[in-house]
Structure formats: structure tokens, C-alpha cells
Amino acid sequence: MSKLYIIPTPIGNLEDITLRAIRYLKEVSLVLAEDTRTSKKLFSHFEIDTPLFSFHMYNEHKVLTKFINRIKSGEKIALISDAGTPGISDPGFLLVRGCIEQEIEVECLPGATAFVPALINSGIPSEKFIFEGFLPIKKGRQTRIKLLSEEKRTIIFYESPHRIVKTLTQICEHFGEDRQISVSREISKIYEEHIRGTTKELKQYFEHKKPKGEFVIVIQGKK
């Protein structure tokens, strides 16, 4: 039966992939990948020889209908991203929505997502939270941060090493210097690190230590 499989891939350690994910990647007729060069390394490690096709933010609108029609005609196709679960700050939403509109079955496997371990590891309340993905790069950035400063739930978002100091500076300005915050980087990789403290302490920490890797920021909600 035709179906779209959403398959999470490891965000660091290759052992984080599930046995079911490996089996599905071998059984489907085609795998849509954010970057086929990255995915080929994963496929080589697990001896997967399923054909790969590029599916990323720059071409998804162009090829969307093509692959929906292929699934509708009877194929089983999988979607993966470079790391983590497709659709979480990565392409995937448009394809899933398109399949649902065409009454095509979609199966999403559980698996790696960076913000979950970052949240649990932060020591900040995790029963209620909001996930913001990446903040706007330019337009609307300050407005968004100011709005989030009033949020009472725990706040999570991703950040790049190039903007981490700027972001922490802006957080200090709008959230205050004593709000509890945790910054996680390189989750599930060799140099995984979690730094916890006040907004002021973490701003000073990264001003003196060159930031490297992918970051997840977890901030205590307003009391």
C-alpha cells in the first residue's frame, strides 16, 4: 500500500537511529533527503542502497506534486533530513500536508530531536513549554524576543554559533540578567556540552569562549 514515511535520523551518534527506521529505509522505493551527500554517509554505515533524491527548502515547491503523485500511484517513499526529525526546522510540512490532502497515509516514526534532550537536561521546568525554532534573523527579531520575555512557560529555540552572543545579549536586555537559562550544544556528539546559569552568566561565558556547533537555548518562563 502506498505511504509516506517520515523517518528521523541521528543528530550525532549514529547509534541513535531505530531498528525500524533502518528497515523502512531499506524497504521503500525512494528516500527524499535534505542533502544526499550527508545521507550517503548514513546509508553507507548501515548498508542501505535505496535511491536518494534531493528534497530541500529550495526545491520542495517544484518537486512536491511529482512525489505526491508517485506515492498516490502506489509507491512507498521516505523523507529524511540531515539530522533529526523532518518538519522540525527542516523541510517536511508541505509534503505531509499535501499527502493528507490527497488522502495518502503518512507514518511518522519517533526518533531524535535536539530540543527534547536539551529541555530535560536543562533542569528548567519541562511540564509546559513552547518551541520557537529559529528566531527571525533580522526583521521582527527584537519584537519576537520582547514578546517571549512575557511568556510564563519554558521557552526553547535553536541558534547558530554566529548569532549566539548577539542573541544572549538581546535576551539579557529583554528578559533581565537573572533569568535561568541553559544552552546546549552538539547534542549526541563527541563534544556535547550543557551550560546552565543566569542570562548574564551565559552571555559572559560565550563572550570569552568562541562558540562552536549547533545550539539549543532553554529559558525559564516569567514567574
If you count them, how many residues does the chain have? Answer: 223
Calculate what percentage of the chain has a pLDDT beyond 90.
91
pLDDT at 208: 92
Rounded CA-CA distance 61/55 in Å is: 9
CATH fold for domain 115-219 = 3.30.950
pLDDT tens digits for 67-77?
999 999 999 99
pLDDT the model gives residue 90: 87
- Amino acid code (one letter) for 96: V
Q: Does position 46 have pLDDT exceeding 90, yes or no?
A: yes
Give 167-208 as a DSSP string.
HHHHHHHHH-TT-EEEEEESTTSTT-EEEEEEHHHHHHHHHH
For residue 84, what pLDDT band results from cuts at 50, 70 and 90?
very high
Q: pTM for the full model?
A: 0.91
Rounded to the nearest integer, the mean pLDDT of the chain is: 95
Per-residue pLDDT for 211 more than 90? no
Report whether pLDDT(101) > 90. yes
Domain 3-108: CATH class, spelled out: alpha beta
Tell me the domain boundaries of the chain: 3-108, 115-219
Q: What is the mean pLDDT of residues 138-146?
A: 91
Q: Which pLDDT does position 1 carry in this prediction?
A: 78
Residue 158: what pLDDT?
96
- Residue 89 has what pLDDT? 85
Decide if 2 contacts 73 (C-beta within 8 A): yes
Whether 154 has a pLDDT exceeding 90, the answer reads yes
- Look at residue 57 in the predicted model and tell me its pLDDT: 87
Whether residue 137 has pLDDT greater than 90: no
pLDDT at 100 over 90: yes
**Given this model, what pLDDT does residue 163 score?**
93
CA distance 117 to 79: 23
List the grid coordinates of 94: 508541505
pLDDT, average across residues 168-196: 96
DSSP codes, 55-81: --TTTHHHHHHHHHHHHHTT-EEEEE-
Tens of pLDDT, residue by residue over 9-41, are 999 999 999 999 999 999 999 999 999 999 999
